Amino acid sequence: MQAIFDAAGDVIVITGGANGIGAELARRCAQAGATVVVCDVDEHAAAQLLAGEPRLRFCRLDVSDRDAVMRAMQSIEAEHGRIDGLVCAAAVQPRREVHATEPQAWQQALAINLDGVVWCYQAVVPGMIRRRRGSVVAFSSGLAHSGWPQAAAYASSKAALGAFVRSAAKEVAQHRVRVNLIAPGVIDTAQYRNANAGSDDAHWANTLGVGRAEDVVGPLMFLLSDAATMTASLLSRDHAYPASAPAAATKDTP
């Protein structure tokens, strides 16, 4: 069975959408017919992403700034009429032992990874409730329940995010607004490489496997689609499974 997604007419906002999984999702949603607004602080990467993609838009946004989030989402709704889908992909992964973590670094991780999702949710969900349609997707991580050395801030923010999503989802289910989590597994992105150099990378490669950003697009598009009649749920990719199989090796025949 082959899944084909039709996003014609939808307006989708992706925070942290200039790089990694967010960028791959933005491309695919645009190709499926959606208008996609990429919200990020990386203007250079966003400019490269938007080149030649007429359905992509860019909004410079620091999701930790609640006032800026409210203004940005209001502007997007005013221009495009609505927001049908919100994907909260903006995140940071600082690596530092807990006892040596400066307060500012700890607070920044929570402000982006947790508070940023809450502010975006608050900005878009009232409109979804009025229209009785909408999907919000946030990112969890296996580290939320397993933990990892020097990753306490990241793991803590993702664990808290799970409780937030499951609680918020039950508040808006009656309005046909869905709020779900995805745990994409270990994915080879620039952020992953910066946070998992050396032995950590080898560990993931030899255990769970390291996937590619495009491998997560299908599950994300499903969660954004009307086919995903589920909420307060976690869609987890616990082991890397490539979206396309590598070319089979061939042998010369005598």
Per-residue pLDDT tens over the stretch 145-164: 888 889 999 999 999 999 99
Which tokens go with 76?
């997007």
Looking at residue 200, what is its pLDDT?
A: 61
Domain at 172, CATH number: 3.40.50.720
- The residues with which 13 forms a beta bridge, in sequence order, are 37, 86
Answer whether residue 97 is part of any domain. yes
Which tokens go with 127?
């409109």
Q: Which of 121, 154, 192, 241 is catalytic?
A: 154
Burial class (CB in 10 A: 0-12, 13-18, 19+), 164: middle
Amino acid at 156: S
Looking at residue 214, what is its pLDDT?
A: 87
Q: Which residues contact 75 (CB under 8 A, 6 or more apart)?
A: 59
Alpha carbon separation from 194 to 10, 115, 138, 234 (Å, rounded): 34, 23, 22, 26
- Looking at the structure of the chain, the number of domains it has is 1
* Edge-to-edge strand ranges of the sheet holding 11-15: 56-60, 35-40, 11-15, 85-88, 134-139, 177-183, 234-236
Q: Which residues contact 222 (CB under 8 A, 6 or more apart)?
A: 3, 5, 228, 235
Structural domain containing residue 129: 11-236
Answer whether residue 78 is part of any domain. yes
Strands 85-88 and 56-60: unpaired
- The residues with which 105 forms a beta bridge, in sequence order, are none
**Cα–Cα dist 153/142, whole Å:** 14
Per DSSP, 225 falls in state S
Looking at residue 228, what is its pLDDT?
A: 96
3-state secondary structure 107-145: HHHHHHHHHHHHHHHHHHHHHHHHHCCEEEEEECCCHHH
Looking at residue 197, what is its pLDDT?
A: 61
Answer whether residue 254 is part of any domain. no
The answer to whether residue 154 is catalytic is: yes
Answer whether residue 186 is part of any domain. yes
CB 161 within 8 A of CB 114: yes
Answer whether residue 131 is part of any domain. yes
Answer whether residue 243 is part of any domain. no
Helix (H) or strand (E) holding 12: strand 11-15
**Cα–Cα dist 35/148, whole Å:** 37
Report the C-alpha dihedral over residues 186, 192, 196, 202, rounded to 10 degrees. 40
Answer whether residue 168 is part of any domain. yes
Looking at residue 252, what is its pLDDT?
A: 47
**Cα–Cα dist 243/213, whole Å:** 10
Answer whether residue 28 is part of any domain. yes
The stretches in the chain having pLDDT less than 50 are: 204, 249-254
Which tokens go with 110?
């929570």
**Helix, strand or coil for residue 232?**
coil
